[in-house]
Amino acid sequence: MQQGRVTLIGVPLDLGAGRRGVDMGPSAFRVADIDEKLRALGYDVKDTGDLDVQIQETRKAGDPRLKYLKEIRETCEALRDSVVEALRGERMPVVLGGDHSLAMGTIAGLARFHRERKQKVGLIWFDAHADSNTADTSPTGNIHGMPLAVALGLGAPELVGLGGDGPMVDGSRAAAVGLRDVDVAERANVKATGLGAFTMRDIDERGMRAVMEEAIQRASNGTAGIHVSFDLDAMDPDYAPGVGTPCPGGLSFREAHLAMEMLADTGKVISAELVEANPILDQNNSTARLGVELLCSLLGKKIL
């Protein structure tokens, strides 16, 4: 991956979520001057605009256990192909969401590109939720609660197969950080995938530095690099009020920036996505602005 070349891909998807509004997330990140801030860090930035995404008013949900499955799969296929195109052009894909179900498309693209080179990908997933439900365990049928399970090989075959044969990412090379709201039925799924799951209690007891050291070790073990998937609800709602599923007791401002700075120090980040910013619920676009600042830390911004 040639350093310094970023492709922004907007995905105004809200079909996987239970509340409307995250489809405006890509615009919110752009209003927060994402392109200018990355250019100030020395990056060559190419914004490819937004993918075409169906809206709920024109579609039917279909299977209540897997709502809008067809439409979400089509969006993830398009995103997968866009990610592969960016990687083949030696550019780092940065995906702007949109709800977290789009991560299946991002990671499928990474998996496809690196499988062609007989390489594996590491994953660090920041989220209040485990996103490890399946149609059999989900209490809502909302697919944004399923993408991490899918990426690790568990769930609807139509989604698991987006990246080709086998899991997109090995559970032993994946970590979730900031968990604090996990459905009882999905706990078995987390264990079955082999995911490294770090809850807020782990962060409280061990500190963010120790947690990130272990997460980075998992995600960099025998991989071509690390994909960082950041759901803004990983943050405490005091810092990120504009999310659809806020959960008290999340990451602090400095804990999140430390995590991003440590990842930047590795030199192994190959892609990233920011998801679940909901401008309807936000205060003066503060959540999107925080997401952009975290991305800047991830891509090398330093205090000194």
Burial 80-113 (b: 16+ CB within 10 A, else e): bebbbbbbeeebbbbbbbbbbbbbbbbbbbbbbb
Task: Give the residue-averaged pLDDT of 216-225.
Answer: 98
What pLDDT digit, counting tens, does each position of 124-135 carry? 999 999 999 999
- Kindly report the average pLDDT of the chain as a whole number: 96
Mapping DSSP to helix (H, G, I), strand (E, B) and coil, where does residue 94 land? strand
- What is residue 18's predicted lDDT score, i.e. its pLDDT? 81
Distance CA 40, CA 189 (A): 42
Higher-confidence residue of 224 and 59: namely 224
| Domains of the chain, start order | 5-298 (3.40.800.10)
- What is residue 3's predicted lDDT score, i.e. its pLDDT? 60
Least confident of 52-56, 271-275, 284-288: 52-56
- Model-wide pTM > 0.95: yes
- What is residue 2's predicted lDDT score, i.e. its pLDDT? 45
What sign has the CA pseudo-torsion 80, 104, 49, 8? Answer: negative
Tell me which residues are annotated as active site.
Answer: 100, 127, 129, 131, 144, 231, 233, 276
What pLDDT digit, counting tens, does each position of 64-122 carry? 999 999 999 999 999 999 999 999 999 999 999 999 999 999 999 999 999 999 999 99
- What is residue 75's predicted lDDT score, i.e. its pLDDT? 98
Task: Give the residue-averaged pLDDT of 187-216.
Answer: 98
